[in-house]
Amino acid sequence: MTDTFAPGAEVRVRFDFPEARGPAHIRTPHYVRGRIGRVVRTLGAFRNPEDLAFARPAPVLPLYHVAFDRHAIWPDAAPGEELLVEIFGHWLDAA
C-alpha cells in the first residue's frame, strides 16, 4: 500500500531501475532516484502509467510535486535553487 504524504513531508525516492530488468515505462527521472526531497503538494490520484503503457491493470496512485535541492543533484547549480518533479507515491518512502 502506498503511503499518503502531506505537504512538507520529507521523502526519499526509491533507488530502483526497473528499466534494467526489461521493457518498462518509467516516469521517475533517474537523477532523483535515491534522493531526498520535500512534498510540495498532492496533485490527485491517477492510474499508474507504468502499467497503462503495457495494457496491464493499473492501480490508482497518488501523484505528488516533490522539490529537490538542485545543488545536491547538480553541483554546478546555484545553492538554494529547487527542482520540482511529479512523482507517483509508489516511488516514495518517508525519509
Kindly list the domain boundaries of the chain, sorted by start residue.
10-94
Residues 4-53 pLDDT 10s: 999 999 999 999 999 999 889 999 999 999 999 999 999 999 999 999 99
What's the grid cell of residue 34? 535515491
**Residue 3: predicted pLDDT:** 66
Residue type at 63?
Answer: L
Q: Report pLDDT for 53.
A: 94
Strands (E), 1-95: 10-13, 36-47, 60-69, 82-88, 92-94
The CATH code of domain 10-94 reads 2.30.30.50
